[in-house]
Structure 1
Amino acid sequence: MQERTVDVAIIGSGTAGLSAMAQARKAGKSFVLINGGEPGTTCARVGCMPSKAMIQVAEDYHRRTHLGKYGIDGHEAMTLDITEAMEHVQDLRDTFVDRVLTNSTDDMPEDLFIQDYARFLEPTLLAVGSGEDERRIRAGAVVIATGSTPLVPAAWRSFGDKILTTDTLFELEDLPASVAVVGLGTIGLELGQSLHRLGVKVTGFDQQARIAGLRDPVVSDAAIALMQKEFPLHLGVAADIEADGDGLRVRAGEHAVSVERVLCSIGRVPNIGHLALESLGVPLDARGLPPFDANTMQVADLPVFIAGDVTGQRQILHEAGDEGKIAGFNAARGERRAFRRKTPLHINFCDPNICAVGERFDALDPATTAVGEIKFAPVGRALIMGKNRGVLRVYADKADGRLRGMEMIGPKGEHLAHLVCWCIQQGLTVGELLRLPFYHPVIEEALQAALYDAYAKVDAKNEGLTELAPLP
């Protein structure tokens, strides 16, 4: 069988794979992009973008419940056509997917973009396709960027389309009357709240005692209290599912509910079933993944690199893009250069936003950490918006005052999280941040108040006025 030779072979045409391809092009290397699943990124097809479209519809419709106190008449007469709403979500989803494909693979010649599954025969030898259509590709280096797929326990698969995931939810033309959301991480909480606000009877389950991946007990308690005001949450016990007439019955401990459908959002698993990774000749972990370096993305000591959601580590678009760039850079140049990763940033787009930045609360030493806190109830801008709910907590080093992390649930958290993330990455101290301007009235004043609270607990103090640096 004839072999084709390229400098770089990239398996997967999602965010990480496309970023790796851009690096190969930039280096002037020959490459081939191989994709065995649906083209287009997970974000555009079934992730970030359709979920945010649904969240926006749900938030806009939910806003009617608050309009009466502002003297706006007729708000109770607002109606929602679910079919039209889902068509809107799907239209936006298709627009985002088309943009990705138009700017990436649509116009690529067949010798550069192969729509088929690849498997390893050797670390640098791939078989693409099967049977008479099988072809082989010998590469100087290989990038694995095959993404991930929703995890559905084997015992639940027999329930067929009664089990929803993000792969199927956004395909619905209508919504069920009732849904149990099993798994209240970012995906489950965002979509659970949206479905509730669109008129679906929602019940949430999670075997963890906290939601949204929160680590700070104060923020976690506030988040649970706020979310429970919208739909019931049953936490700390694993859920079981059984058939119940035309629907399903979900039970967790003493709590049980009968629903039409279950949204399974308990995690994602790497897409590696077709890859034959055992052919790499290195040990595989319990998930079937090889060892790799998170700063070079190199697999063991092989000319093989791995990037994006398939790693199971930082399953977020900008992280997948960075990993693809690192993997593509090293694969195209024959290098093993290590790159510094960005400050961790997590944003849950439920209402209010739940965010975590930098080092997490449970990883910090209480003896060397100063915690600054502000509740949103008295924050002027939040009060005017009618969104003065939640709490923000910042973490700083007691000795030098450097900001190290934050967790929060509150309004406009997506913006506050970015500000804090940038400051942490720049190595700024609490005192330095307090010398930056804060306008009035803005949500950022909540961050300012939390910083003042932390500043009182750190040893590093500003000379002269806290807020103003003296002239030389």
Structure 2
Amino acid sequence: MRLLTPDICVIGAGSGGLSVAAGAAAFGVPVVLIERHRMGGDCLNTGCVPSKALIAAGRHAEAIRAARRFGIDAGEPRIDFAAVQDHVRETIAAIAPHDSQERFEGLGVTVLRETARFEDAATVIAGDCRIRARRFVIATGSSPAVPAIPGLDTIPYLTNESLFDLRALPARLAVIGGGPIGLEMAQAHRRLGSAVTVIEAGRALAREDADLARFALDRLRQEGVDLREATAVAEVAVEAEGIVLGLQGGGRIGASHVLVAAGRRPNTAGLDLAAAGIDEGPSGIRVDRGLRTSNRRVHAIGDVADVAGLGPLRFTHVAGYHAGLVLRAILFRLPVAEDRAILPRVTYTDPEIGQVGLTEAEARARHGDGLRILVEPLSASDRARTDRAGEGMIKVITTKRGRILGAGVAAPEAGEIINAWSLAVANRLGIGAFARAVPPYPILGEIGRRAAIGYYRPGLTSPWLRRIISLLRRFG
């Protein structure tokens, strides 16, 4: 068996693992990167990239339908679903070279396309190689969680790992799960011509501020998505007319295809973490805020990491952020800690839902009534009027003294708008920074400045302020 002794051994070539490997290699540090499946991981192959490509196709189809509102009647769009999927594959292929084995070997990284397992606290076995490294980084990601629904295993259900392999449009798509993935794919398929039903046991988009989420949920319903909240699937069966989902409390839903989008599970099977003294739980590998496991030689990042018992944040940009933290810790011996307050998230429905920092409910739980809630409707933006952008809003949560605790946006391109608020939260800016800013006119993001000015509006009616103005007027 061949012995390798790099400084860093990275397990998993998704966004987090690739960032660690590339960053370390840039400093001339010897790195071994192990990947058992596809380079680029879930994001490139079955997650962010293909889903956003499909969403883009659906958005263009909907734009054709909506064109008549601008005096342009192009009729109902003709959907070639196989060509749509070709667009998805072409997008993946265009990005893939950046994540390829060839590129990383060119950077000086030793890439092993094998399954990894720990032999002991300081050794990993991958194929015919034994790797003894100074530090290990586990970046194995997550996979779709499949609920234990009787009969589900008797049908060829879809997950994000198989959805993009379809060549024919699902006639009747049933989506189990009303989170971001489920709703994004529900809206995209509805816009491309599928009849879509979403079944959610609780509240759809439960993590998001309800005031913001309702704009996306209302839009899905308006477009014809049958959204069933507080509804659970009791069983799945195949009958003469096709797949039938039986609902708890009665009722049935027929489908040609079933998409399971009911959460994610950490990819830890086969790693033999116990052999390395690494603790794990149902949500992932347990790490502290510095992303270190119970084995101080080993870090875990991205989807697989349960940080300080708070659970994982399963976003590509979070994995990249984690990679930067562990590189600082490993290469420069700097103290690092995950700061969740600065990490934004976006649900890519139409309208999008963007959030950074605390939601209103989270802020009230922590700070009580010592808050200011600043709200501005999307309709206050002239650009929203010119574009017929529909309904939406921004909600900003601050302390009484104007420190920004969080912000949420429901609007087209909310992800672009929330990015500025992420910068503010990360740099601990006050609301005055937005009130003083001069945005170009007209943009949708102008509603952020309008909300910020609202923080000062109560002071405009102050008797003391009026007396000062009156006094100054006497001096000409």
| TM-score, scaled relative to structure 1 | 0.88
How far 1:417 moved relative to its partner?
A: 0.6
Q: How many angstroms apart in 2 are the aligned matches of 1:282 and 1:89?
A: 38
Specify the code of the residue in structure 2 equivalent to 1:93: I
Q: Conserved in 2, the CA contact under 8 Å of 1:395 and 1:454? A: no
Q: Which amino acid aligns with 1:408?
A: V
Amino acid at match of 1:394: V
Match of 1:11 in 2: 11
Counterpart-to-counterpart distance in 2, 1:344 and 1:250: 39
What is the CA-CA distance between 1:340 and the residue it aligns to? 5.5
Tell whether the 8 Å contact from 2:231 to 2:247 is kept in structure 1 after alignment: no
Q: Residues 387-444 of structure 1, C-alpha deviation per residue, up to 9 Å, x if partnerless?
A: 131222111111x211211123222212211111112222222233111103333212
Distance 2:294 2:160 in 1: 33
Partners of 1:372 and 1:394 within 8 A in 2: yes
1:468 is matched with none
1:146–1:457 Cα change, 3 Å: farther
Contact persistence 1:23–1:329 (CA under 8 A): no
Indicate yes or no: 2:206 matched with 1:219. no
Counterpart residue type for residue 154 of structure 2: F
8 Å CA contact 1:41–1:100 kept in 2: the answer is no
Q: Distance in 1 between matches of 2:458 and 2:272?
A: 54
Judging changes above 3 Å, is the alpha-carbon distance between structure 1 residues 331 and 21 closer, same or farther for their aligned structure 2 residues?
A: same
| In structure 2, distance between residues paired with 1:70 and 1:450 | 29
Shift of 1:350: 1.1
Amino acid at match of 2:122: T
Q: SS where residue 116 of structure 1 aligns?
A: coil
**Number of aligned residue pairs:** 451
Look up the match of 1:315. Answer: 314
Query: Could you tell me whether the CA contact under 8 Å between 2:212 and 2:410 is conserved in 1?
Result: yes
Counterpart residue number, 1:87: 86
Residue of 147, 160, 171 corresponding to 1:153: 147
Q: Secondary structure, in 3 states, of the residue corresponding to 2:417?
A: helix
* The one of 107, 120, 123 aligned to 1:122: 120
Write out per-residue CA displacement over residues 35-73 of structure 1, whole angstroms, 9 at most, x where no aligned residue.
112222322111111111111111111112222232213
**Equivalents in 1 of 2:235, 2:66: separation in Å?**
36
* 2:376 counterpart of 1:371: no
Q: How does 1:179-194 map to 2 (within 5 A)?
A: 179-194=173-188
SS in 1 for 2:446: helix
Residue 248 and residue 104 in structure 1: after superposition, are their counterparts in 2 closer, same or farther (change >3 A)?
farther
For each residue in 1:309-328, what CA deviation from the matched residue of structure 2 results, as whole angstroms up to 9, or x when unmatched?
Answer: 21151221221112123224
Contact 2:231 2:248 in 1 (8 A): yes
Residue type of the alignment partner of 1:305: H
Letter in 1 for 2:370: T
Evaluate the alpha carbon distance shift between residue 274 and residue 332 of structure 1 in structure 2; reply closer, same or farther with a 3 A threshold: farther
Shift of 1:330: 3.0
Q: Hey, what does 1:45 align to over in structure 2?
A: 45
Amino acid at match of 1:434: A
- Which residue of structure 1 aligns with residue 442 of structure 2? 441
Matched, 1:249 2:242: no
Aligned-residue identity in percent:
26
Q: How does 1:327-406 map to 2 (within 5 A)?
A: 327-332=326-331, 335=333, 337-339=335-337, 341=339, 343-365=342-364, 366-398=368-400, 400-406=401-407
Please say if 1:262 is aligned against 2:261: no
Cα displacement string for residues 312-356 of structure 1 (whole angstroms, at most 9, x for unaligned residues): 5122122111212322443345x3621464712011121111111
CA distance in 2, matches of 1:442, 1:70: 19
Number of the residue aligned with 1:271: 267
- Equivalence for 1:293: 288
Q: Contact 1:20/1:326 (CA < 8 Å) preserved in 2?
A: no
Q: Determine helix, strand or coil for the equivalent of 2:8.
A: strand
For CA contacts below 8 A with separation 6 or more, give which structure has more relative contact order.
1
Aligned to 1:30: 30
Matched residues in 1 for 2:246 and 2:388: separation?
35
Q: What is the distance in 1 between the residues matched to 2:4 and 2:144?
A: 34
- Distance in 1 (CA, whole Å) between partners of 2:415 and 2:2 is 52
CA distance in 2, matches of 1:94, 1:250: 40
Residue 69 of structure 2 corresponds to which residue in structure 1? 69
- Answer whether contact 1:212 1:348 (CA < 8 A) is retained: no
Partner letter of residue 65 of structure 1? R
The C-alpha deviation readout for 1:201-242, integer Å capped at 9, x for no partner, is 00112122242631x232233433232222121112332341
Once residues 117 and 209 of structure 1 are traced to their aligned partners in structure 2, the CA distance between those partners, rounded to angstroms, is 38
Kept in 2, the 8 Å contact 1:372–1:452? The answer is no
CA distance in 1, matches of 2:345, 2:18: 23
Q: Which residue matches 2:469?
A: none
d(CA) in 2 for partners of 1:157 and 1:239?
Answer: 10
Say if 1:234 and 1:252, in contact at 8 Å, map to a contact too. no
Structure 1 ranges of 4+ moved more than 6 A: none
Distance 1:336 1:77 in 2: 58
For the residues of structure 1 that align with 2:270 and 2:334, how far apart are their CA atoms? Answer: 27
Query: In structure 2, do the counterparts of structure 1 residues 8 and 157 end up closer, same or farther at CA, with 3 Å as the change threshold?
Result: farther
Q: Report the 3-state secondary structure (helix = DSSP H, G, I; strand = E; otherwise coil) of the residue aligned with 1:166.
A: coil
* Distance of aligned partners of 1:69 and 1:283 in 2 relative to their CA distance in 1, 3 Å threshold: closer
- Matched AA of 2:12: G
Cα 1:359/1:87, change in 2 over 3 Å: same
Partner of 1:425: 426
Alpha-carbon displacement from aligned partner over 1:108-165 (angstroms, at most 9, x marks no partner) = 78x9111111111112111223xxxx4322222111111111111354662342x111
Q: Does 1:207 align with 2:213?
A: no
Asked if structure 1 preserves the Cα contact closer than 8 Å seen for 2:34 and 2:113, the reply is: yes
Looking at structure 2, the residues matched to 390 and 254 of structure 1 have their Cα atoms a distance apart, in angstroms, of 35
